[in-house]
Amino acid sequence: MADPRAAAEMDRFKSEATDIEGFSPVEEFVMNFFAGVETSVTTALWVIDRLGANQQVQDRIHAEVLSGDAQTPYTDCMINETMRFFPPIPFLTREVGADTVLEGRRLYAGQLIMVSIVGVHQNPAFWSNPRVFDASRKEFLDNSFDRRAFIPFLTGPRMCGGARLGRLEVREAVLAIVRQFAFSRADDVIRFDYALALRPAQGASVSVSRR
């Protein structure tokens, strides 16, 4: 039987939320639920794709996972590099709040602009060889990367509210999968689709076997 106090609290929340212009609690829930699931799954799929393309990296991560150590720096680096190179949301749009000048370009209130997450993640001012997928990327292993240049969950007041949960989900999924399965690829050609998130294309040549 449902708790009447919980039902009353939900009714109060819905009543207050609908008072906010343009805000729909139902739409917000659905968007966050599906976006959260999709981005976590696609990130894990990209990790699998890249493991299949590099046997040495896969063996090193497998050994790290089996070591039983709570600290898994190389695995964490691999996951971060995957999110850097294949950000789940590769671009987004924002509305300019007030007239301003940015890098010499005048922007006007109400104007829509597109922000390239891929562009930020591949800015040579912050990353060495930014267009190369490097599972041993020094910036991540040394924890020396500029936080402004790594925004797979966005940043600021619009940052993904499930960022910490998303990271945890991906990490635990990778640890569990690598412990039991091995992956291989017939080639190293990157193929992708884009729906709710940037994801490997269907039919990508990744073979799976149990260890």
Which element (helix H / strand E) includes 76?
Answer: helix 73-85
pLDDT tens figures, 110-164: 999 998 999 999 999 999 999 999 999 999 999 999 999 999 987 777 777 677 8
What does the block give as tokens for 118?
């891929």
Task: Tell me phi and psi for residue 56, to 5 degrees.
Answer: -65, -45
Confidence of residue 22 (pLDDT cuts 50, 70, 90): low
Tell me the pLDDT tens digit for each residue of 61-97: 999 999 988 889 999 999 999 999 999 889 888 889 9
Residues 151 and 72: their CA atoms lie apart, in Å, by 21
User: For the stretch 57-68, what's the b/e string if a residue is b when 16 or more beta carbons lie within 10 angstroms of its beta carbon?
Assistant: bbebbbebbeee
The identity of residue 11, as a single letter, is D
* Token reading at 151: 């925004």
| Least reliable range by pLDDT among 55-59, 61-65, 68-72, 176-180 | 68-72
195-207 per-position pLDDT tens digit: 767 778 776 678 8
CA dist 91 and 116 (Å) reads: 4
Q: Where are the beta strands (DSSP E) in the chain?
A: 91-95, 100-102, 105-107, 112-116, 181-185, 192-194, 198-200, 206-210
User: Which pLDDT value is given to residue 143?
Assistant: 95
- Residue 57's pLDDT band, with cuts at 50, 70 and 90, is very high
pTM of the model: 0.79
pLDDT at position 10 is 52
Please state, in angstroms and rounded to a whole number, the distance separating the CA atoms of residues 90 and 99.
Answer: 26
Task: Please give the DSSP secondary-structure letter assigned to residue 157.
Answer: G
Could you give the CA distance from residue 204 to residue 43 in angstroms, rounded to a whole number? 15
d(CA 108, CA 184): 50
